[in-house]
Structure 1
Amino acid sequence: MTSADRLIESTRELLWERGYVGTSPRAIQQRAGAGQGSMYHHFAGKPDLARAAIGRTAEELRATAEALLGAPGPALERVAAYLHRERDVLRGCPVGRLTQDPDVMADATLREPVRETFSWLAGRIAGVLREGRDRGELVPDLDPESTAATVVATLQGGYVLARAAGSAELFDRAVAGVLHLLTAYDTSTRREVGRDS
């Protein structure tokens, strides 16, 4: 790993643990085992390094999601595989936690990869659901975009509930709940949401 890579990885970890304000250049250098000269040789300063770190975190999240959502199989199985993937729930989502950082949200260049990542994720899940609907796996009146937004919101909310309670059980319940709701769209169940309401 190059010194630039070590600096980026250290910044990623520190942003996740401490937030932007708590991630000092000195802490980054100490964790990376790099000197000040090395840091400023590769990056213009802390904001530049933070942009690189957030961008790498976003890329990693997308790659992990795509490996599961882009796999073969029925749409709901692929969404379930993504929701059930191994996570460090009590640390929270490394991208989602950035939305709670006022310094990141106040800087358009730091905020943009966060916005893009959630937009991509909702769009990718919507695409999987649309494929399932078009193949007849899911009911014709499924709204892929609204349903995908619900899935992403439930996932992020699950992290918040779990962290507040200090237990991953609440995250697992949120995931189980949204998957149970999604089964109402599965044509094999012969039920449609709202039919009896």
Structure 2
Amino acid sequence: MSTPDRLIESTRELLWERGYVGTSPKAILERAGAGQGSMYHHFRGKPDLALAAIRRTAEEMRTTAEDVLGSPGSPYERVEAYLRRERDTLRGCPIGRLTMDADVIASAELRAPVDEFLTWLRGRLASVVEEGREQGDFAPGLDGEEIASTILATVQGGYVLARASGSPAAFDTAVRGLLALLAPAGDRPARGGQG
């Protein structure tokens, strides 16, 4: 791996773990195994390197999401696969983490790739939901944009619940609840004592 790639990868990991303020140039260089002048040789400074790292994270997450949402299967199955895909729930979302970072949000340049990714993902999910609504996979009254936002809110909120409880079970419970709400009426799981 080239020195710029090592610097970007180290920054990506540190941003996820520590946030922008906690990601010092010294920590980046140590993790990358790079010399003291390396960062400034390849990047204009920490903000430039952080921007490259955020863009790469967003690009990787977009590819991962598209691999699931563009796969074969019914729209409901693709949404389910997206919600149930393997995640490190106790670590949280690398993009979601950045939305809680005051320094990232205060910088239009650093915030842009975060917002662009989330906007793309909402749109992509909305298109799958609309496709499912047209095919009868989802209730006819569902709005694709609203459901896409609900899916994102469930994922991000699931991370928060899992991290707070120290258990991935909280994330899984949120996902199961949303999937039960989205399932066609005949496919919804029966609840004991209710009905």
TM range (shorter): over 0.9
Which string of whole-angstrom CA distances, capped at 9 and with x for unpartnered residues, describes residues 73-125 of structure 1? 10010000011111110000000011111111111111111111111111111
1:170 aligns with 2:191: no
**Structure 1: which 5+ runs fail to align?**
191-197
SS in 2 for 1:91: coil
Contact 2:57 2:94 in 1 (8 A): yes
Number of the residue aligned with 1:90: 90
Identity of aligned residues (%): 67
- What TM-score comes out, normalization by structure 2 length? 0.93
Contact 2:122 2:145 in 1 (8 A): yes
Number of the residue aligned with 1:32: 32
Number of the residue aligned with 1:103: 103
Query: Compared with structure 1, are the counterparts of its residues 107 and 83 closer, same or farther at alpha carbon in structure 2 (3 Å cutoff)?
Result: same
Query: How far did residue 136 of structure 1 move?
Result: 3.1
Number of the residue aligned with 1:195: none
Query: How far did residue 189 of structure 1 move?
Result: 4.5
| Structure-to-structure mapping, 1:12-161, within 5 angstroms | 12-161=12-161
Over aligned residue pairs, what C-alpha RMSD do you find?
1.3
The separation in 1 between residues aligned to 2:139 and 2:43, in whole angstroms, is: 51
Query: How far did residue 134 of structure 1 move?
Result: 2.0
Number of the residue aligned with 2:193: none
Deviating above 4 A after TM superposition, structure 1's stretches of 4 or more consecutive aligned residues are: 187-190
Query: How far did residue 70 of structure 1 move?
Result: 0.4
- Provide the aligned length of Structure 1 versus Structure 2: 188
Query: How far did residue 140 of structure 1 move?
Result: 2.4
Number of the residue aligned with 1:194: none
**Structure 2: which 5+ runs fail to align?**
189-195
SS in 2 for 1:22: coil
SS in 1 for 2:104: helix
Contact 2:138 2:182 in 1 (8 A): no
SS in 2 for 1:89: coil
The separation in 2 between residues aligned to 1:187 and 1:137, in whole angstroms, is: 10
The separation in 1 between residues aligned to 2:139 and 2:26, in whole angstroms, is: 55
Query: How far did residue 137 of structure 1 move?
Result: 2.7
SS in 2 for 1:14: helix
Contact 1:20 1:103 in 2 (8 A): yes
Contact 1:137 1:188 in 2 (8 A): no
